[in-house]
Amino acid sequence: MTEITMPRLSDSMEEGTIVKWLIGDGEAVARGQELVEIETDKATISHLAEAEGVLEIVAPEGTTLPVGATIARIGAAAGGSERERDGAPATAAAGPAPAPVPAQAGAIAPPAVEDAGNGADNGSGSPRAPATPLARRIARLAGVALAEVTGSGPRGRITRADVLQAIGAPAIAPRRTPAAVTPGPSQAPAPDAAPHASAAETEGARGRVTRVALNRSQALVARRMAEAKATIPHFQVQTEVAMDAAVALRTALKASSEQGGAPSLNDLVVKASAIALRRHPRANGSYSDGGFELFERVNVGVAVASEDALVVAVVMDADSRSLGAIARETRRLAERVRSGESSPAELAGATFTVSNLGMYGMTAITPVINPPQAAILGVGALRETLARGERDGEIVQRTLMTLTLSCDHRILYGAEAAGLLAEIRTLLEAPMGLAL
């Protein structure tokens, strides 16, 4: 008998929620076959079977358990499960039933309708429509049959936007309320009639107050940012970058590249940051237990707004990638984050982060450090200004952008931080080197 435990699917994962068993209790499973969908603090991931045999489900759908807790067992395939060979019914537990574990904020109620999104046969002889894990979850909450939804993703795959369009909801994912754990999938309650139902409403002097429970990603961001502000001594340095040459370079690259394939200005910032980090190794490190940890690889995280949360996707080895490769990777990662398909590997390992609110017209941003990183770069919007020319003092137009570097004062000091930011500014003001 092989014990299947709650896996650690990301560095920050402490617990996970069973979203859906892809193999039924008592059914045969092969090693390496997709076994269960688990919601972590960052994404919903399909976990593979670690052995072959007959599956015995211990934790039903909707259960939230800590990393290392038993969620299932896999027994020998021949002659039935171990319990059946001992003469006990397959549905009888070998020992006392595990106590139900209360679902945490963001846990998902077990579905009351058959999920039609995993590509298996639906019993009527026709295959189920392929769908992203996030699309399946929203469909279950809204009570929508995926077979009736037209997919717009690759190979007709159903996305979150397709389900929201089918139910006539705005293009945001529904907030989930805490769900009580039920004894098993067969006894699951019906989903809420309204996907946006709140956890509680009260009346007071401020009028009706609606309390909405945090989902798992929001709870993680809240906890990490509170810890960062409480434990990390922040300081900021700020500079203005003349972006005229960078804008001209992007315009030229856009004219010569395929549609939608040109690097964005944020891609230039990522590349410039990666090169500068290689030249300022302490900024590519962290403070830990009275010492410095300096990282060999330069992995730049890019903050991506997703639903009601903030997710940092990671461009690995950004210093050694070409500008075009960075552009393709950031675009791919952003699409996967927004569709809810990101894997833990795509969200882990960042040594530095870039957070850009320029597309929202914000002049500047003072971001909070994402621990255990030493610094984070905030990027503001481009703005047109008038200035005197360097040669004869004539009035010329300039395109400026504000960069703000938030630093951990335990590892970075003022001069080192200023040197890093000045290096990034120099690279952006003479950007031809970034395209090589």
Tokens of 353: 């982060």
Strand locations in 248-371, DSSP E? 285-288, 291-294, 300-306, 309-315, 352-356
Cα–Cα distance list, 270 to 29, 281, 396 (Å): 44, 16, 28
Local structure of 33: helix, strand or coil = coil
Cα distances (Å, whole numbers) of residue 265 to 1, 189, 434: 55, 48, 12
d(CA 322, CA 270): 11
Q: How far apart are CA 203 and CA 208, in angstroms?
A: 5
- Asked about 409 being catalytic, the answer comes back as yes
* Spatial contact of 177 and 192, defined as CB atoms under 8 Å apart: yes
Q: With H, G, I as helix, E, B as strand and everything else as coil, classify residue 116.
A: coil
Side chain identity at residue 344, one-letter code: P
Q: How far, CA to CA in Å, does 71 sit from each of 11, 38, 58, 111, 260?
A: 20, 11, 5, 18, 44
Residue 268: partners with Cβ closer than 8 Å, 6 or more residues away = 246, 249, 250, 323, 428, 431, 434
Residues with Cβ < 8 Å from 249, sequence gap 6 or more?
Answer: 268, 431, 432, 434, 435
H helices within 40-189, ranges in order?
82-85, 133-142, 160-167
Upper half-sphere CA count for residue 107 (Cβ side, 13 Å): 22
Look up tokens 């994962």; give the residue.
13
Catalytic residue among 47, 196, 234, 409: 409
Q: Kindly list the catalytic residues.
A: 409
